[in-house]
Amino acid sequence: MKILITGGAGFIGYNFCKYLLTKTNHKVYSIDNVNDYYSQKLKIARLKDLKKHKNFKFYKFDLCNKKKLEKVFKINFNIVYHFAAQAGVRYSLINPRSYISSNILAFFNLIELIKKNKIKKFFYASSSSVYGESKNFPLKENQIISPKNIYGLTKKNNEEIVELFFKGSGTKSVGLRFFTVYGAWGRPDMLIYKYLKSIFFQRTKFYLNNYGNHTRDFTYIDDVTEILHKLLNAKITESNVVVNICSNNPIKITRILKFINKYLKKKPKIFKRSFQKADVKKTHGSNFKIKKIIKKNRFAEVDISLIKTVKWYEKNWKLFR
């Protein structure tokens, strides 16, 4: 099977490519523009690891380049997973234009070719950010969504475009609403990695937003890659569906930080500050729907997976200089 995974230099894209290359015989193709939103050194290291596998082929370009994308689609892919996007909630306040380009225009280029080439299954990254500041916990896929930042709005737009664009086309699409994914090879701009960097690089300041009164549905990357693989062969009856990818186990951020302190026997200086307007105070998703689709009942224990994450960072901290 020929599988296209966009965003292979990114956190989730890399880990899923690696999963398929080590556990299956599928041919994996990936596109990524390797932009400088965060460390290109880290992205290049991910790609270097993937290129060790003979079944991996990489293309470096932006999905906004439709001509290059059309050439790649001559490969006749069986399935497409789309993870390439402009990430980051707070960055959407600084540079909203990049989200329109990467998350809407590039997205449409991709789905246009998926439809044209009659690809049967399309999986794409949405986000828990589509829910906004909801208080109806646990968050369920069928409730009204109301994002509070440009990033979340572009993901809502993706879901709505897909529903209309693929209607009657024969392509089945699955929107993946990811909730605070963490683990090895994680993004430097996310909480756990910011905190680890402030411990290993003592001159790095760590800012604790909302004075630590945030709660997040932390979801381990190994659970995510297992879910993504199981979806490959899952029986999906609806032509268009969205699913939460979450642990259904909300944890206060301060508990995560205290656990890291205890394990490493050290802690950084913390600079507490008020609530940031792009943030939401709590995320807590229901994973009932995804568990029913793929028959997955167990998720990683946070304490164990956090230790694995910290151990990985201890070995690879130089990538985050």
Structure confidence by residue, pLDDT tens digits, 44-57: 999 999 999 999 99
| Residues catalogued as catalytic | 151
The pLDDT value given to residue 173: 97
Kindly give, in sequence order, each residue whose CB lies less than 8 Å from that of residue 303, ignoring residues fewer than 6 positions away.
259
> What domains can be seen in the chain, in order of their start residue?
2-181+218-246+284-300 (3.40.50.720)
Q: Cβ-count burial of 183 within 10 angstroms (0-12 exposed, 13-18 middle, 19+ buried)?
A: buried
The pLDDT value given to residue 237: 83
The pLDDT value given to residue 61: 97
183 torsion bin: left (phi>0), alpha (psi -120 to 50), beta (else): left
- Give the number of C-alpha atoms closer than 13 A to the C-alpha of residue 120, restricted to the C-beta side: 10
Query: Taken in order 199, 204, 205, 210, is the CA torsion positive or negative?
Result: negative
DSSP 3-state helix, strand, coil percentages of the chain (rounded to 5)? Answer: 45, 20, 35
Looking up tokens 């689709």, which residue turns up? 293
Q: Specify the length of the chain in residues.
A: 321
The CA-based angle 230-151-193, given to 5 degrees, is 70
Kindly give, in sequence order, each residue whose CB lies less than 8 Å from that of residue 224, ignoring residues fewer than 6 positions away.
12, 15, 16, 178, 181, 245
Q: Comparing C-alpha atoms, which of 140, 122, 136 is closest to residue 179?
A: 140
Q: Cβ-count burial of 137 within 10 angstroms (0-12 exposed, 13-18 middle, 19+ buried)?
A: middle
**C-alpha span between 134 and 143 (Å, rounded):** 10
Residue 45: which H helix or E strand, with range?
A: helix 40-50
Tokens of 300: 């990683």
pTM of the model: 0.96
Query: Taken in order 98, 16, 18, 117, is the CA torsion positive or negative?
Result: negative
The pLDDT value given to residue 93: 72
Q: What is the dihedral of CA 195, 201, 205, 208, to 10 degrees?
A: 10
β-strands 215-216, 172-178: how paired? unpaired
pLDDT in tens, the chain (321 residues): 999 999 999 999 999 999 999 999 999 999 999 999 888 999 999 999 999 999 999 999 999 999 999 999 999 999 999 999 988 877 777 788 889 999 999 999 999 999 999 999 999 999 999 999 998 999 999 999 999 989 999 999 999 999 999 998 989 999 999 999 999 999 999 999 999 999 999 778 899 999 999 999 999 999 999 999 999 999 888 889 999 999 999 999 999 999 999 999 998 999 999 988 778 999 999 999 999 999 988 899 999 999 999 999 999 999 998
The pLDDT value given to residue 91: 75
| Bridge partner list, 252 | 215
Looking up tokens 């200086």, which residue turns up? 269
